């Protein structure tokens, strides 16, 4: 089992707005998804059988408004949903969005600056037909358009955003759950949700507080956008965002990781650290480390855990897992980012993919750029400030935030 979460918007008091996360369960498996062409394209798709987690945002699109649920993804930019007609699309539980029934749907021309930001070609009607690829080989193809998005405030009054650029997908394939109706890109590029709405809500910034895996599904947590979403106060540490060739990924610099009091530098073969060697991504459950660093960290974790790893369960593959009915007592890990030490406890380090089993929520890859996944992000208030180019971390009980 793993968690599906969807977001219900509620209004903030100071110009921004908050998002309430409502937790659901699903038997489906989520694969890691980041934008193809980002510095993470060398990272291969991880084994997903024990890495479970997904976040869905609920919003309405069109006039009259139609409810959609899209996967929140800080690793990509495009907002898109499956649309009628859908000639080659994955199965979804809810009806497809039909742009012909909306009074506010407008196709974008292939000469538009928005169209030039994507891989695209002109339709016979001079519309912008886009193709958008992800690193897990998922793909959406369709018409780039503008539409009205409607959010629901805490008072019940609708918050209407006009002329939001989005993709109306007519050919969508890859690793998708049938609850997903598309993706809500929250990356740093110009077509992402935060980039498009930032000026309306006091700035291009947002924060999140994700519930730990296996929390009571009746408990909610929140995501905040714009003014009022700043992360501040005692215990806050911050690390700079690193400029990338494309603005989509939130790249930061990881200096090393400590397992208990044992420190491992990012590279065992070099005294220098590559800037922007980690991507903070809400769409990836496990934390992905380069093979060399993962091997050193995992070996030390195994050394400090007083249990015998599982070696005879084909469902778990090569993952580091233990048979136990409750989470492990230790060890702790510390992610040493540039200027920010982030302490991880067992609730963020080990997850239960099935009853009586807890697995190390980290994975390995042969690439040079890693991913800081959403399991490690839980129980932290994490703020992204695109204007100041900084990410901030503050320990929090996300069941109460």
Residues marked as catalytic? 73, 281
256 neighbors 294 (Cβ within 8 angstroms): no
Q: Whose structure tokens read 């497809």?
A: 96
Measured distance CA(167)–CA(182) in Å, rounded: 9
32 neighbors 284 (Cβ within 8 angstroms): yes
Sequence-distant (≥ 6) Cβ neighbours of residue 272 within 8 angstroms: none
194 neighbors 207 (Cβ within 8 angstroms): no
Measured distance CA(315)–CA(50) in Å, rounded: 8
Per-residue CA distances from 121 to 112, 124, 135, 168, 359 (Å): 11, 10, 22, 15, 45
Measured distance CA(397)–CA(380) in Å, rounded: 7
Measured distance CA(99)–CA(16) in Å, rounded: 29
89 neighbors 103 (Cβ within 8 angstroms): no
Q: Whose structure tokens read 């990509």?
A: 76
DSSP 95: P
Sequence-distant (≥ 6) Cβ neighbours of residue 78 within 8 angstroms: 118, 130, 132, 140, 166, 167, 183, 185, 191, 192
Measured distance CA(254)–CA(337) in Å, rounded: 4
For 78, the 3-state DSSP assignment is coil
Measured distance CA(248)–CA(380) in Å, rounded: 22
């Amino acid at each position: 089992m793993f968690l599906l979460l969807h977001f219900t918007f509620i209004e903030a008091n100071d110009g921004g707005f908050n998002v309430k996360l409502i937790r659901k369960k699903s038997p489906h498996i989520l694969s890691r998804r980041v934008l193809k062409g980002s510095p993470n394209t060398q990272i291969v798709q991880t084994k997903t059988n024990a890495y479970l987690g997904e976040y869905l945002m609920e919003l309405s699109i069109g006039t009259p408004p139609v409810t959609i649920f899209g996967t929140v993804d800080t690793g990509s930019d495009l907002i898109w949903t499956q649309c009628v007609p859908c000639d080659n699309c994955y199965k979804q539980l809810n009806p497809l969005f039909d742009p012909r029934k909306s009074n506010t749907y407008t196709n974008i021309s292939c000469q538009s600056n928005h169209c030039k930001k994507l891989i695209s070609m002109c339709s016979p009607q001079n519309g912008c037909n886009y193709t958008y690829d992800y690193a897990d080989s998922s793909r959406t193809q369709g018409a780039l358009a503008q539409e009205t998005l409607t959010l629901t405030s805490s008072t019940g009054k609708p918050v209407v955003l006009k002329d939001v650029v989005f993709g109306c997908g007519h050919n969508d394939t890859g690793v998708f759950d049938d609850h997903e109706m598309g993706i809500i890109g929250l990356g740093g590029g110009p077509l992402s949700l935060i980039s498009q709405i930032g000026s309306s809500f006091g700035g291009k910034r947002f924060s999140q507080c994700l519930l730990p895996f296996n929390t009571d599904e009746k408990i909610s947590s929140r995501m905040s956008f714009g003014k009022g979403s700043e992360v501040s106060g005692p215990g806050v540490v911050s690390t700079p965002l690193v400029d990338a060739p494309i603005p989509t990924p939130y790249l930061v610099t990881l200096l090393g990781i400590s397992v208990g009091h044992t420190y491992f530098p990012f590279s065992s073969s070099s005294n220098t650290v590559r800037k922007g060697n980690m991507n903070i991504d809400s769409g990836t459950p496990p934390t992905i480390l380069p093979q060399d660093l993962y091997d050193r960290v995992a070996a030390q974790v195994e050394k400090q855990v007083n249990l015998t790893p599982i070696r005879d369960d084909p469902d778990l593959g090569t993952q580091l897992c233990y048979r136990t009915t409750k989470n492990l007592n230790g060890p702790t890990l510390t992610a040493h980012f540039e200027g920010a030490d982030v302490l991880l406890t067992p609730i963020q380090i080990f997850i239960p993919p099935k009853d009586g089993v807890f697995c190390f929520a980290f994975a390995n890859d042969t690439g040079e750029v890693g991913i800081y996944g959403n399991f490690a992000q839980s129980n932290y208030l994490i703020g992204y400030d695109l204007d100041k180019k900084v990410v901030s971390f503050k320990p929090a009980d996300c069941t109460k935030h």
